[in-house]
Structure 1
Amino acid sequence: MQITHLLQTELAHEYSTTAKFFDRYPVDKNKYAPHEKSMALSHLVTHLTHIFGWTGDMLATSYMDLADTKTPSPLTSSSDLIAELDKNFNHSKEALSKATDDDLESNWALKMNGNLIAEWSKYFAIRQALNQITHHRAQLGVYYRLLGIPLPASYGPSADDQSF
């Protein structure tokens, strides 16, 4: 089996799980943050939607310079979150469908003002992006738990979703 196919399968699973979380998004809590060092809820979910596009961007480029990126306006509704999630997921899904395993071997770098922060193979950079999705969705789960919002199943049933 090709690695690109495995990455497509994993990305699709993360997409469907994240969409379940976004279906429960509390629009009246956009500015909520559980700690002064935590992102506001709307910023966290906006960031999470954009990570779904990173795979497509990584396959099309050799680096990203964080100094050149703009902070997107926070998304504040479930429908806006799902629309952005769909757009970014489809961008990465299409890029992966056209990629070969050989495309994953070239390097991709993360920079700040031209200075190298990290450099990995494109495969490992994509794996890092998938890990970021899991990480930030877990943060979202903590926010939801603290707000009393039932958590959907992720990698099996949650304490709130015993539909299995």
Structure 2
Amino acid sequence: MLVKSLLGEFEFEAENTRKLLQAIPDSALNFKPSDKSWTTGQLASHIAEVYNWYQPTLHQDVFDMSTYKYDKGDISKASNIVAKFEENVKAARKALESATDESMSKNWKMTMGSDEPVFPEMPRAQVVRGFLFNHLYHHRGEMVIYLRSTGNKPPGIYGPTFEESQR
């Protein structure tokens, strides 16, 4: 039942993520709100990449980020980022569909080249909610700001946008 519930949220939110990534024009890809920020293209690539973390999160007890190979792909065009998202979301769906409710209660940890966890070890279900789902929602919120800052319109994710409601 737990995996089925997570899968329902996954499907709903993947569609929202898709709409957001599809709203990014190529002209906004190099925008950076500050020197310390990612460009729009880098942020969009990261959003697409989070879906690549499902398999190791759901099917490994330890995820060593020091050995992880980040594959941002070609971020020179927004359509390339959307294509990478589609590839990653398909693999994420498969990883989630093959998870079990029993596996969700097992502890999981992330490391960075040693046995020491990056953050406290916790049940996999908590990791899915925090590390995968909520992490993604946080970055989507940033992307809405990036789109507005470049004069572009974000799509409505949980109903009409402010701009749509003012019509």
Same fold by TM-score, threshold 0.5 exceeded? Answer: yes
Aligned pairs for 1:28-67 (under 5 A) are 28-67=27-66
Segments ≥4 residues shifted beyond 6 Å: none
RMSD: 1.6
Q: What do residues 118-143 of structure 1 show as CA deviations (whole Å, max 9, x unaligned)?
A: 22211111111100110000000010
TM-score of the superposed pair, with normalisation by structure 1:
0.90
- Secondary structure of the corresponding residue to residue 109 of structure 1: strand
Task: Please tell me whether the aligned partners of residues 27 and 76 of structure 1 are also in contact (alpha carbons under 8 angstroms).
Answer: yes
| Count of aligned positions | 161
Q: CA deviation at 1:78?
A: 2.8
Q: Which residue of 2 aligns with 1:85?
A: 85
TM-score of the superposed pair, with normalisation by structure 2:
0.88
Q: Which residue of 2 aligns with 1:96?
A: 96
**Distance (whole Å) between structure 1 residues aligned to residue 43 and residue 99 of structure 2:** 29
Q: Which residue of 1 aligns with 2:117?
A: 116
Task: Please tell me whether the aligned partners of residues 55 and 92 of structure 1 are also in contact (alpha carbons under 8 angstroms).
Answer: yes
Task: Please tell me whether the aligned partners of residues 151 and 161 of structure 1 are also in contact (alpha carbons under 8 angstroms).
Answer: no
Q: 1:150 aligns with which of 129, 150, 153?
A: 153
Q: What do residues 101-158 of structure 1 show as CA deviations (whole Å, max 9, x unaligned)?
A: 1011111111112131122211111111100110000000010011111111111211
- Secondary structure of the corresponding residue to residue 117 of structure 2: strand
Q: CA deviation at 1:33?
A: 0.8
Q: Which residue of 2 aligns with 1:15?
A: 14
% identity of equivalent residues: 24
